[in-house]
């Protein structure tokens, strides 16, 4: 794929490939690695103990604290700012879930794993790389409004949790129709005026974001084995 000479674009005239399609295609093997990880599998088939689910929510808390802090700091940026959707913010829902799962003193009972600290540090570096921030935004939020909806149903059933507290993280009522949201999100990706080098960097950062997420799962899998 090549950029035109007049306007930088990820899509050559007449090309069937939109940037959103390229991004998904180029990162889908990383998605599958995250989805097929033993920890994720156990979560999806309902064999993960509640303690493992709770620890995952705790790790999410630290990752989203970084993601949403950097998102606010980049709200005025011409690239990253286009992905500043206050209605996506997950931190309040994570706090509700953790209060429910761990009690009022939840904050003293959780700490970031080494993998989560690495992931959060990478997100924080994106303050100086706004297009890279989009990669991290996409990897998490598009996942939460896609496969996350399976997790919501499985976890609610397996652990007897409710949308109000326990799986609130996966509830996006403020967005309305999720398929419509996903379409609009892809349109925003497609309208980013990225030249080829910037497009390739965004793809590479997304692959890294998936790998960092998989590391977090690997770490959770080591300490929270599925029930026998």
Residues contributing to the site for ligand HEM (CB under 6 A): 24, 31, 34-35, 40, 44, 138-139, 142-143, 146-147, 150-151, 210, 213
> Shortest gap between Cβ of 139 and ligand HEM (angstroms)?
5
Beta carbon of residue 227, minimum distance to ligand HEM (angstroms, whole number)? 18
| Nearer residue to ligand HEM within complex by CB, 99 or 188 | 188
Are the C-beta atoms of 133 and 126 separated by less than 8 Å? Answer: yes
> Toward ligand HEM, which CB reaches closer, 9 or 27?
27
192 phi and psi, to 5 degrees? -70, 130
Count of beta carbons in the 10 Å neighbourhood of residue 27? 22
Whole-number Å distance between alpha carbons of 213 and 116: 8
Tokens of 59: 């790790």
Return the C-alpha torsion angle 176, 182, 185, 187, nearest 10: -120
Nearer residue to ligand HEM within complex by CB, 85 or 99: 85
Q: SS3 breakdown of the chain: % helix, strand, coil, rounded to 5?
A: 70, 0, 30
Residue carrying the six token digits 């303690």: 51
DSSP string, 25-72: HHHHHHHHHHHTSHHHHHHHTT-S-HHHHHHHHHHHHHHHHHHHHHHH
Residue 87 Cβ vs ligand HEM, minimum distance, rounded to whole Å: 18
> How near is the Cβ of 97 to ligand HEM at its closest, in Å?
17
Minimum CB–partner distance for residue 142 and ligand HEM (Å): 4
Chain residue at closest Cβ approach to ligand HEM: 147
Query: Smaller CB distance to ligand HEM: residue 34 or 79?
Result: 34
Nearest to ligand HEM of 109, 150 (CB atom): 150
Q: Between 45 and 163, whose beta carbon lies closer to ligand HEM?
A: 45
Cα–Cα distance, 158 to 67 (Å, whole number): 28
Min CB(59)–ligand HEM separation in Å? 12
């Amino acid at each position: 794929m090549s950029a035109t000479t007049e306007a930088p674009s990820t899509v050559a005239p007449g090309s069937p490939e939109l940037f959103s399609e390229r991004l998904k295609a180029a990162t889908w093997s990383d998605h599958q690695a995250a989805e097929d990880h033993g920890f994720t599998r156990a979560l999806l088939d309902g064999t993960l103990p509640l303690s493992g689910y709770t620890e995952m929510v705790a790790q999410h808390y630290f990752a989203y604290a970084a993601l949403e802090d950097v998102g606010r700091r980049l709200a005025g940026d011409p690239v990253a700012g286009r992905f500043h959707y206050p209605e996506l913010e997950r931190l309040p829902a994570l706090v509700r879930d953790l209060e429910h799962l761990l009690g009022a003193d939840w904050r003293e009972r959780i700490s970031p794993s080494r993998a989560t600290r690495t992931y959060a540090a990478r997100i924080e570096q994106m303050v100086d790389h706004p297009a890279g921030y989009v990669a991290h935004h996409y990897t998490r939020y598009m996942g939460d409004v896609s496969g996350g909806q399976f997790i919501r149903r499985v976890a609610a059933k397996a652990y007897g949790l409710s949308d109000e507290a326990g799986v609130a993280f996966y509830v996006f009522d403020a967005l309305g129709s999720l398929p419509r949201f996903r379409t609009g999100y892809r349109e925003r990706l497609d309208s980013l005026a990225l030249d080829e080098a910037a497009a390739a960097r965004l793809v590479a950062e997304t692959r890294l974001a998936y790998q960092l997420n998989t590391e977090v799962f690997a770490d959770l899998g080591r300490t929270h084995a599925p029930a026998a």
